[in-house]
Structure 1
Amino acid sequence: MRIHFISIGGSVMHQLAIALKLKGYQVTGTDDDIFEPASSNLKKHGLLPEKTGWQPELITPGLDAVILGMHARIDNPELIKARELGLPIYSFPEYIYKESIHKTRVAIGGSHGKTTTTSMVMHVLQFHHKAFDYLVGAALEGFSQSVNITDAPTIVCEADEYPASALERRPKFHFLHPQVAVLTGIAWDHINVFPKFSNYLEQFEIFINKIIPNGILIYNESDETLKSLVESTKRDDIRYQPYSVPVHEINNGVTSLTIEGITSDINVFGHHNLMNILAAYYVCKELGIDARGFMEAIASFKGAAKRLEIVAQNKHTTIFRDFAHAPSKVNATIRAVKEQFPERQLIAALELHTYSSLNRDFLPQYAGSLDVANVACVYYSRHALEIKKMPPLDVETVKAGFNNPDLFVFSKPEDFKTWLDNNDYQNATLLLMSSGTFDGLNYNELDYLLK
């Protein structure tokens, strides 16, 4: 097989390129810029393009497939030539389906928790030495890649609702056609792609209808929006497995969980993670792992990267880093930390970094999301607004959106750093939430805050 990647430097695209090279395919690719860690990863496997930029001369009639990344525009010269030659052109998820058409496909979707739930399933399958392929959006301990394509009988996919490519604007998860599907919840996101909630909701209805007959939908029945959607789209040719918060206890900051009479301490916490675990159990049950085997494995799961990741801690203070950025994710994460450490002061900082979060019309979706914190701060970069060509935000607009007059709001990194340094962290938890880095904050050097 000869495969060419247009936009090989993407975070997931380059991982697929490496996976196919390891499978024995002949792989080439180009991009207009490639950043770390993609650059080093591609170089290690002999896939880093010799020069930067598009190279239409690489598009030849002998190619078996051209895989088009989201970054590539419709006027890309390589894409134009591939279309002229009539070559098979795939978006990332379309190609994943092509490689997995004879496999059992697990697709884990939802507005929040899909990365963690996918990682949990992967962890359990690996613990029990099961052969499987995977696609996940975060680094996970024990896995050298975030994409793996082999001859394994099963593939576990994080199923994203974002558009597939410049040619194919439908959501990625519409192309996976799973036998085992999970929906963790629905909360409006990606306002730049789905300007109305009804547009967003429709994508999940389509996903449900893409489940293969005789398949199963595992869904979070505690999410009223999702529950209502499932009830209104009932199919007679698939099974349904609802789930909610399982039986659990918290003692001295440690959570123990019970599933089908089997109890074990776990390393992750919060209602959202407990529900993620139960969803992962129902997936693993479909793949032949019983409750005892699942609980034995999940006890050693430490979480996906940047998901309630401990940056630094001592006996009286813990600093967490979390990927939360959408309103539902922020709300779930902050409540989980407060529930786990109820006696500690909770200091929370959120960076507005995505298009949706920086949109003044979307800000009211965050109302009340930081109220659980004893001290709360919102940071946004003026430079990020300029890059996204969005109008400026002012402090009062942000406070009004969060419906929190006591909120600290900063748009300069030095002001945020001063605020960070001046808090009292004695008997406290610091929660840093962002899909970015707070303009270059070095998380590995925050142990100086532990006094």
Structure 2
Amino acid sequence: MQVHFIGLGEINMFNLAIALRKKGEKVTGSDAVFDESLNAIMYEQGLEYNETGWSSDKINDGLDAVVLGASVKKDNPELVKAQKLSLPIFSYPEFVFEQSKYKTRVVIAGSKEKSTVASMILHVLEYNNVVVDYALATPNGIHLSEENDFIVIKGGDGPSSVIDPTPQFHKYQPNIALLSDIELKEGDFETYAEQYSIFVDSIVKGGSITYNDEDAEVKKRVESSENPIRKFPYITPEYQEVDGEVFLDTPDGEMPLEISGETNLRNMAGAKWICQQMGVDEVEFYEAMATFQ
């Protein structure tokens, strides 16, 4: 494949381009500004880019796909030419879906806690030698392969692109999903929260949603959905705090943890449900979480 990224400097786009390059695809990209720290990585990975800035000359009918960054504007000359040539144009989440449509997609959504939950899940999987693909908004945050069965995706709620305002997490069609929390400090809360209802309804029929039963809005959105999926509520687990140390109550007795606070413990309970659906049993999960910081 030959794929061009308009907006390569965005963290999600850069991660995706690097992941594709590692798979052996031909990748080019452009942006108005590049962080200096990215230059060395682009050189090492063989990413092709010329001078900083936009140029319609970078777009041609030999491209198999154009991926459009979330901050790219409608009048971008590269976007305009791609549209004129009727090239396949994808937003970041659409292209991630295309790369993972034959995998089991595990999507972690929520206003504030999704990053922590995703980190817990990936820590447990790595500890137990379960190799998966992943797509996160962190440095080196995307890994794509042909052979892995699962991909863990952090589902952002921002718009997909300037030509598609659909929230990103509506694009993934998860097989397994988690919803941690719904919170909006400013703006129209009902409109915002409704996007999470749509997310729940986007889960593949027969799939599952693991959800925070202690968040009233999450509970409302999940339990009112008529999507034929399995629904797994989670709550803050029982624990003890002694001399500043946290001990989780488990079937095998008290287990010391590096993490603390009800929010983190509740996040852990959600991560456990997800990991169990990915083949990690309870004992293996707790053993791994004892080392999570």
**How high is the TM-score relative to the length of structure 2?**
0.95
1:298-319 CA deviation, whole Å, 9 max, x = no partner? 11112xxxxxxxxxxxxxxxxx
Matched, 1:249 2:245: no
In 2, are the aligned partners of 1:205 and 1:233 still within 8 Å (CA)?
A: yes
In 1, are the aligned partners of 2:21 and 2:46 still within 8 Å (CA)?
A: no
Match of 1:149 in 2: 144
Superposition CA RMSD, Å: 1.5
Shift in Å at residue 64 of structure 1?
1.1
Match of 2:88 in 1: 88
Superposition pairs for residues 23-422 of structure 1, below 5 Å? Answer: 23-47=23-47, 49-138=49-138, 145-151=140-146, 152-188=148-184, 191=186, 195-235=187-227, 237-261=228-252, 263-302=254-293
Secondary structure at the aligned position of 1:70 is classed as: coil
In 2, are the aligned partners of 1:9 and 1:39 still within 8 Å (CA)?
A: no
Match of 1:372 in 2: none
Shift in Å at residue 260 of structure 1?
4.7
For residues 212 and 36 of structure 2, what CA distance do their matches in structure 1 show? 36
Unaligned runs of 5+ in 1: 140-144, 303-451
- TM-aligned CA distance change 1:82 to 1:294, over 3 Å: same
Secondary structure at the aligned position of 1:169 is classed as: strand
In 1, are the aligned partners of 2:6 and 2:68 still within 8 Å (CA)?
A: yes
- TM-aligned CA distance change 1:52 to 1:262, over 3 Å: farther
Secondary structure at the aligned position of 1:301 is classed as: coil
Match of 1:415 in 2: none
In 2, are the aligned partners of 1:262 and 1:292 still within 8 Å (CA)?
A: no
2:141 partner letter: S
1:273 partner letter: N
Shift in Å at residue 170 of structure 1?
0.8
- Sequence identity percentage: 37
1:261-304 CA deviation, whole Å, 9 max, x = no partner? 464222221111111111111000001110001111111112xx
- TM-aligned CA distance change 1:212 to 1:186, over 3 Å: same
In 1, are the aligned partners of 2:7 and 2:31 still within 8 Å (CA)?
A: yes
1:191-219 CA deviation, whole Å, 9 max, x = no partner? 5xxx3111101100100000001111100
Secondary structure at the aligned position of 2:51 is classed as: coil
Secondary structure at the aligned position of 1:129 is classed as: coil
For residues 91 and 38 of structure 2, what CA distance do their matches in structure 1 show? 19
For residues 274 and 171 of structure 1, what CA distance do their matches in structure 2 show? 28
In 2, are the aligned partners of 1:115 and 1:138 still within 8 Å (CA)?
A: no
Task: Give the total of aligned pairs.
Answer: 292
Shift in Å at residue 36 of structure 1?
4.3
For residues 80 and 146 of structure 1, what CA distance do their matches in structure 2 show? 29
For residues 23 and 251 of structure 1, what CA distance do their matches in structure 2 show? 49
Secondary structure at the aligned position of 1:87 is classed as: coil
Unaligned runs of 5+ in 2: none
For residues 138 and 297 of structure 1, what CA distance do their matches in structure 2 show? 22
Secondary structure at the aligned position of 2:73 is classed as: coil
For residues 8 and 250 of structure 2, what CA distance do their matches in structure 1 show? 42
1:180 partner letter: I
1:91-124 CA deviation, whole Å, 9 max, x = no partner? 0000000000000000000111100100111111
In 2, are the aligned partners of 1:244 and 1:275 still within 8 Å (CA)?
A: yes
Shift in Å at residue 38 of structure 1?
3.0
For residues 175 and 74 of structure 1, what CA distance do their matches in structure 2 show? 21
In 1, are the aligned partners of 2:156 and 2:169 still within 8 Å (CA)?
A: yes
1:37 partner letter: S
In 2, are the aligned partners of 1:59 and 1:78 still within 8 Å (CA)?
A: yes
Secondary structure at the aligned position of 1:24 is classed as: coil
For residues 19 and 249 of structure 1, what CA distance do their matches in structure 2 show? 42
In 2, are the aligned partners of 1:213 and 1:238 still within 8 Å (CA)?
A: yes
Shift in Å at residue 233 of structure 1?
2.0
Match of 1:394 in 2: none
1:3 partner letter: V
Secondary structure at the aligned position of 2:173 is classed as: coil
Query: Rg larger in 1 or in 2?
Result: 1
- TM-aligned CA distance change 1:36 to 1:221, over 3 Å: farther
Secondary structure at the aligned position of 1:218 is classed as: strand
